[in-house]
Structure 1
Amino acid sequence: MTVIHQNDLIDSITDALQFIACYHPKDFIDSLYQAYQKEENPVARDALAQILINSRLAAIGKRPMCQDTGMVTVFVEIGMGVHFDSQMTLDEMINEGVRRAYTSSADILRKSVVSDPDGARKNTGDNTPAVIHHHMVSGDKLRIRIAAKGGGSEAKARLAMLNPSDNIVDWVLEQLPKMGAGWCPPGIIGIGIGGNPEKAMEMAKSLAMESIDIHSLKARGAKNRDEELRLELYEKINQLGIGAQGLGGLSTVLDVKVGSYPTHAANKPVGLVPNCAATRHIEFTLEGNGPADMPEINLSDWPEITRLSDDKAKRVNLDTVTESEIAEWQPGDTLLLSGKLLTGRDAAHKRLIDLLDQGKPLPVDFKDRFIYYVGPVDPMAGEVMGPAGPTTATRMDKFTPRLLTETGLRGMIGKAERGAETIKAIRDNKAIYLIAVGGAAYLISKAIKVAKILAFEDLGMEAIYEFEVKDMPVTVAVDTKGNNIHKTGPETWHKHILEAHCASCHG
């Protein structure tokens, strides 16, 4: 019998969450670097460069690679011979580890979990509770797999109850374009087939936490149906041309994981879960001899690369930029922003619209200003602001037309695509939509030189700030005429990939 002591489990959970917030798995870094080396689209290649540079900086600085430090998912395999020396239940121990990780002064992590999800949505203050899956297994060890999953990629999860004769590949290829860029591709896709709805989704979530090995699978060949699906989906998803950050390119997924489970004869449940550019997961085993040791970090595992686009970028002074200057920007242009920048996201936007509805004055003048959709991590000693990457702009679509029309807002910065009505409002108001790279939060924070709260301080990370930035890298996504890179980029690269594929087949 193995005795697992309470503090050993709690400390292991805490250490693991602090670790994965700052360090990518080596297999992910290696695969992302391969994608960077082969990428032909300059805009997508620059996005990949930013993610790689950000990852190395986060590892050096021991700071979160993404501002969304995730909601915790834990898979626990409990050996039948394990005994717990604890005054707490297993779930209580795990949640205590989560609480300590997200409230530690050693490395501040953003707390994103809210209770009463359809009501007050009050932040729990410590990122608890985790979502915990328990499995009893043979043996006398406790195996823990833990992930911190960001909201942007979770929002793109999919579940379908297909008919037995339906084609899974067709369904997946239909979903990927609909998922857009909010999950910050390229990443890993987990696909669970069979069981019942919750089993399919649990499998998909678990599979998305596995190591990248698609290239070794291609080398040896498929041995079963699941592996056949992996290879087919990997090739066909990348042929869609969605690319890094949805900008169009050769790499949309780094791996596809497929698992299956027996199901009812009348059903074919399929769960799809993407893992984003901030892939954060780790596995450890407790055997009764103390807390788990975290992997040793070797900075040589990270490639040292530099962005080549800065030399071609247009430098923009946000404090003096004119309407005519903005009108010259084209989708795909790289900009380096300097000057004063407002921030705000879901909760702040809701309050602004409520004030407009009530005919009350807004706390901030948005006339000719730019707003950055961000919920940053609190700063630590020596920092102006913690990691501050973009959140998914699509969630602000319901508010954007009115803000553009009624406040004179000039520009927006976020990640992922905008909806048709929002693009029309951007065009009609001669506004602009820019994207920052999801997965480059720590790199972006280095551009923030001054930060102060202007309104809604009670919203915490969702308050309206004013940042003063210096050379903050962004890409033009929707120009003043309504041209949209998230539409034209993937279309262009899908065509390019298919033409190249056909040429190689005929060659």
Structure 2
Amino acid sequence: MTTIIKEADLIESVADALQYISYYHPMDYIKALGEAYKHEQGPAAKDAIAQILTNSRMCAEGHRPICQDTGIVTVIIKWGQQCVLDSESSLQDVVDEGVRRAYNLPENRLRASIVADPAFGRKNTKDNTPSVVHVEMVPGNKIDIQVAAKGGGSENKTKFAMLNPSDSIVDWVLDMIPKMGAGWCPPGMLGIGIGGTAEKAMIMAKESLMGDIDMATLKARGPETDIEKLRVEIFDKVNALGIGAQGLGGLSTILDVKIMDYPTHAASKPIAMIPNCAATRHAHFVMDGSGPVYLKQPDLSEWPDVHWAPDSNSIRVDLDSLTPEVVQSWKPGDRLLLNGKMLTGRDAAHKRIQDMLARGEELPVEFKGRVIYYVGPVDPVGDEVVGPAGPTTATRMDKFTDMMLEQGLLAMVGKAERGPTAIESIKAHQSAYLMAVGGAAYLVARAIKASKVVGFADLGMEAIYEFTVQDMPVTVAVDAKGESVHQFAPLVWREKIRKEKLLEGA
């Protein structure tokens, strides 16, 4: 019996799912993160997890994005061969119309991050289309759809290799994880695809991330297959690295490992690994031709009873009277609450500043004595000053750091670690790098009390804004001496974990 899938129903279902995942974490993730919070011993990591959980509840209640990076959309469809799409448009175009409606919904407008002409012009498409659609024809009279919105910070940490058949998968994973840094905003999940061809391994890694977190259940009953044994071994050994939440050192770096495999050539062992971040967003639904599918609202009482508040030992900082001497007094790991006016800017703004300086042109703003925040916020709705405005990955600005510090910039705020070049520049200029929590964008936005564009208005979310902030929480990640919390904290926790395991073995 043929099932007719109406164009309007598919559009509505995709749009609803994308809005849903923009503000609702999957419940399995929230429960696993709640357990990680209870067991975490690292103070900085525990504080970061508390911010993520508090942000999650706020977004669920307010129907606003979990993260300012509302992602590139991936749709995986298993299309029943007895189904017919009632449309004159292609399946890609129908799905993209659902994406367009979701991202342009006035009540919860999502950030459009997709750029066309990726090698050259990189012009924003304004509606977050096109999406990436994978279709598999299967027996049956229903269509099974999985949608995900993947942020650039985690997607950019994807790893791939063509291993030799005799190479160790575990060794490769453990070699890659430290190289990924913390820009993927742990704690999250690792999706791994093994076998097939290069592109098949990548698709499997992405699809595996759609599965429910079940590591606690798996470990409780014990692994029964070689793949399950591999999942547990990778899970335990990655967490033993001590990287922790946001790379700040701690017990929980990942909450689960998902693996899919497929037969491959005798001479090959393709492997792909894709992390899911603290803003993990995906949903699953099935259409049977009876109309659009609307996902059920989760029960807010199931969120962990965690309500982040500033640490009593936090140092309040007045940005409007900040001096180099104050910046040089900060130590790695210090928690600060920023107050006053700060500038923003990220990739496109930094590149334009570089080009203007090369031409001897005057910049639109004065950076001397200021602090810059690497952010591309979501557009505000209602009476919001700014939409969700969490930090972007700071290493993308590393090549511009010396140039910006030479303009008199005192400090920078971003996400995750800085590279060696940036750290050397920070040390040479005796400035500092401060880290905000990735995955807490709505919480951070509440600290922003005023916002105005002061430069490069044509760049949209990549323009230079001036934010007025009140008690914006950050951690000193690199101090004026070049000491990085992301370098020493994981090493400290790795040793603690090692000693605890030795005591358990004794």
Assess same fold via TM > 0.5: yes
Do 2:339 and 2:470's aligned partners in 1 also have CA atoms closer than 8 Å?
yes
1:64-103 equivalences in 2 (<5 Å): 64-103=65-104
Cα deviation digits, residues 61-96 of structure 1 (max 9, x gap): 110010000000000000011112222221111011
User: Mean Cα displacement is larger for which, 474-483 or 315-324?
Assistant: 315-324
SS in structure 2 of the partner of residue 129 of structure 1? coil
Match in the other structure for 1:255: 256
Residue type of the alignment partner of 1:122: K
User: Mean Cα displacement is larger for which, 416-425 or 294-303?
Assistant: 294-303
SS in structure 2 of the partner of residue 215 of structure 1? helix
Match in the other structure for 2:474: 474
Residue type of the alignment partner of 1:427: K
SS in structure 2 of the partner of residue 229 of structure 1? helix
Counterpart-to-counterpart distance in 1, 2:230 and 2:358: 51
Match in the other structure for 1:429: 429
Instruction: Quote how far apart the aligned CAs of 1:368 are.
Output: 1.1
Counterpart-to-counterpart distance in 2, 1:226 and 1:46: 34
SS in structure 1 of the partner of residue 88 of structure 2? coil
Match in the other structure for 2:380: 379
Match in the other structure for 2:329: 328
1:156-195 equivalences in 2 (<5 Å): 156-195=157-196
Instruction: Quote how far apart the aligned CAs of 1:402 are.
Output: 1.5
Match in the other structure for 2:495: 495
Counterpart-to-counterpart distance in 1, 2:346 and 2:75: 28
Match in the other structure for 1:505: 505
- 1:27 paired to 2:31: no
Residue type of the alignment partner of 2:411: G
Cα deviation digits, residues 323-342 of structure 1 (max 9, x gap): 22211111111110000010
Cα deviation digits, residues 213-261 of structure 1 (max 9, x gap): 0111111222222111100000000000000000000000000011111
Cα deviation digits, residues 184-233 of structure 1 (max 9, x gap): 00000000000000000100000012110011111122222211110000
Residue type of the alignment partner of 1:500: E
SS in structure 1 of the partner of residue 320 of structure 2? coil
Residue type of the alignment partner of 1:487: Q
Cα deviation digits, residues 94-140 of structure 1 (max 9, x gap): 01100111111121100000000110100011100000100011110
Residue type of the alignment partner of 2:79: I
Counterpart-to-counterpart distance in 2, 1:352 and 1:293: 46
Cα deviation digits, residues 325-361 of structure 1 (max 9, x gap): 2111111111100000100000000000111111111
Residue type of the alignment partner of 1:168: I
- 1:282 paired to 2:260: no
Counterpart-to-counterpart distance in 1, 2:28 and 2:42: 23
Counterpart-to-counterpart distance in 1, 2:255 and 2:313: 28
Counterpart-to-counterpart distance in 1, 2:396 and 2:23: 27
Counterpart-to-counterpart distance in 1, 2:16 and 2:399: 39
Cα deviation digits, residues 281-332 of structure 1 (max 9, x gap): 0000000111002122311011232335521100111001222221111111
How many residue pairs align between the two structures?
505
Counterpart-to-counterpart distance in 2, 1:106 and 1:363: 33
Counterpart-to-counterpart distance in 1, 2:297 and 2:45: 31
Counterpart-to-counterpart distance in 2, 1:233 and 1:336: 37
Query: Normalized against structure 1, the TM-score is what?
Result: 0.99
Residue type of the alignment partner of 2:185: C
Match in the other structure for 1:205: 206
1:79-478 equivalences in 2 (<5 Å): 79-307=80-308, 309-405=310-406, 407-478=407-478
Match in the other structure for 2:63: 62
Residue type of the alignment partner of 1:460: G
Q: Which runs of 5+ in 1 are unaligned?
A: none
Instruction: Quote how far apart the aligned CAs of 1:401 are.
Output: 1.0
Residue type of the alignment partner of 1:330: K
Counterpart-to-counterpart distance in 1, 2:176 and 2:85: 43
User: Mean Cα displacement is larger for which, 437-446 or 87-96?
Assistant: 87-96
User: Mean Cα displacement is larger for which, 84-93 or 142-151?
Assistant: 84-93
Residue type of the alignment partner of 2:266: A
Q: Which runs of 5+ in 2 are unaligned?
A: none
Counterpart-to-counterpart distance in 2, 1:303 and 1:322: 40
Residue type of the alignment partner of 1:255: D
Counterpart-to-counterpart distance in 2, 1:153 and 1:84: 33
User: Mean Cα displacement is larger for which, 324-333 or 379-388?
Assistant: 324-333
Do 2:310 and 2:473's aligned partners in 1 also have CA atoms closer than 8 Å?
no
Do 2:327 and 2:410's aligned partners in 1 also have CA atoms closer than 8 Å?
no
Match in the other structure for 1:41: 42
SS in structure 2 of the partner of residue 465 of structure 1? strand
Counterpart-to-counterpart distance in 2, 1:117 and 1:182: 22
Residue type of the alignment partner of 1:166: D
Measured on the aligned residues, the alpha-carbon RMSD in Å equals: 0.8
Counterpart-to-counterpart distance in 2, 1:102 and 1:308: 31
Instruction: Quote how far apart the aligned CAs of 1:505 are.
Output: 0.6
Residue type of the alignment partner of 1:300: S
Counterpart-to-counterpart distance in 2, 1:321 and 1:107: 36
